[in-house]
């Protein structure tokens, strides 16, 4: 998918009218964990007795129960369109141990989607990315570079921040966080599914450069993960001439 696509339009082309009802994974969950969860869930046998599985809630907190057994129980609970099952997972998420938190978040989202589908009596489309989202928007990690390759001045930082905070809402997008690191800035933002992804950022950079060319037109954008400083430093060695996605 091109990084300037209208994502909602693409989804509609693939699944038709069902795209009117979609559920977005809200939390940031590693893509590898998502794939593992979906594979596990697809091959997991459906329990015969939902009530019995719900009554096994205490096993999620036991130190004597293996991680694999807990994963299996969470997947079982997520397969029931019962509020009681959802509440069991919801109670567990804040207390989930290391290595199980993201799995529990996936189960919670699946359970919520099942309940909503039942209440609406309509099938939902599940949209998941590594950075999550919500309310019809996906979260993106963006890196913009200084045009000169030198650190942004304090005035440039303030201008860039104010332009992002002023321009993105015009596209119904939201700025969550802006950080400055030497000669680049990172941004976490939520962009609606029906807005071509590049547009809010192209517009912001254009506004900044109309006041003095200090922002590189090419930038990095991804909804897979938040890039580390080392990964960004590697890219800085050969700054992008065009905008590109990080897989």
- Residues in a beta bridge with 140: 189
Say if residues 170 and 180 touch (Cβ distance below 8 Å): no
* Per-residue pLDDT, 6: 59
Q: With a cut of 70, say whether residue 247 has pLDDT above it.
A: no
241: pLDDT strictly greater than 70: no
* DSSP code at position 245: E
Q: Backbone phi, then psi, for 6, in 5-degree steps?
A: -80, 105
Q: What is the pLDDT of residue 40?
A: 92
Neighbouring-strand partners of residue 135: none
Kindly indicate whether the domain formed by 133-245 is annotated with CATH number 3.40.30.10. Answer: no
pLDDT for the residue numbered 16: 54
Residues 6+ apart with CB under 8 A from 130: 28, 29, 30, 31, 34, 223, 224, 225
CATH 3.30.70.1290 residue ranges for the chain: 133-245
SS3 230: helix
d(CA 217, CA 20): 34
Give me 72's structure tokens: 């299996």
pLDDT of amino acid 119 = 77
Q: 48 vs 240, which has greater pLDDT?
A: 48
Two structure tokens written together for 50: 């939902």
Reported as a pLDDT band with limits 50, 70 and 90, residue 149 is confident
Yes or no: say if 114 and 77 are a contact pair by the CB < 8 Å rule: no
Question: Both tokens of residue 103?
Answer: 């799995």
**Among 15-24, 119-128, 186-195, which is the least confidently predicted range?**
15-24
- Which range (12-26, 146-160, 211-225) has the least confidence? 12-26
Q: What angle do CA 216, 218, 219 make, to 5 degrees?
A: 100
**pLDDT: which is higher, 166 or 212:** 166
Compute the radius of gyration of the chain from its Cα atoms. 21
Share of the chain above pLDDT 70, in %: 85
Instruction: Identify the helix (H) or strand (E) that includes residue 189.
Output: strand 184-192
Q: What pLDDT is stored for residue 27 in this prediction?
A: 85
> What does the block give as tokens for 30?
């590693």
The CB-based long-range contact list for 30-33 (8 Å cut-off, 24+ gap) reads: 30/102, 30/130, 30/225, 31/129, 31/130, 31/224, 31/225, 33/102, 33/103, 33/106
Residue 1: what pLDDT?
42
**Strand partners of residue 146:** 215
- Can you tell me whether residue 244 is helix, strand or coil? strand
Across the chain, mean pLDDT equals: 85
């Amino acid at each position: 998918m091109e990084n300037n696509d209208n994502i909602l339009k693409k989804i509609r082309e693939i699944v038709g009218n069902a795209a009117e009802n979609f559920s977005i994974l809200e939390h940031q969950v590693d893509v590898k964990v998502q794939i593992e969860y979906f594979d596990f869930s697809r091959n997991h046998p459906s329990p015969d007795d939902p009530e019995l599985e719900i009554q096994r809630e205490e096993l999620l907190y036991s130190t004597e129960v293996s991680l694999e057994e807990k994963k299996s129980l969470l997947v079982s609970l997520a397969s029931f369109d019962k509020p009681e099952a959802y509440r069991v997972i919801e109670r567990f998420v804040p207390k989930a141990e290391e290595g199980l938190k993201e799995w529990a978040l996936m189960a919670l989202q699946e359970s919520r989607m099942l309940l909503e589908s039942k209440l609406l009596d309509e099938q939902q489309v599940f949209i998941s990315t590594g950075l999550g989202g919500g309310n019809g928007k996906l979260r993106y990690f963006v890196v913009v570079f200084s045009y000169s390759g030198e650190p942004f001045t304090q005035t440039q930082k303030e201008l860039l921040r104010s332009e992002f905070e002023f321009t993105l809402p015009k596209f119904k997008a939201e700025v969550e966080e802006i950080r400055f690191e030497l000669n680049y800035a990172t941004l976490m933002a939520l962009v609606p599914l029906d807005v071509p992804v590049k547009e809010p950022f192209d517009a912001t950079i254009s506004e900044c450069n109309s006041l003095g060319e200090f922002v590189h037109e090419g930038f990095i954008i991804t909804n897979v993960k938040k890039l580390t400083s080392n990964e960004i430093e590697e890219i800085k060695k050969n700054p992008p001439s065009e905008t590109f996605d990080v897989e």
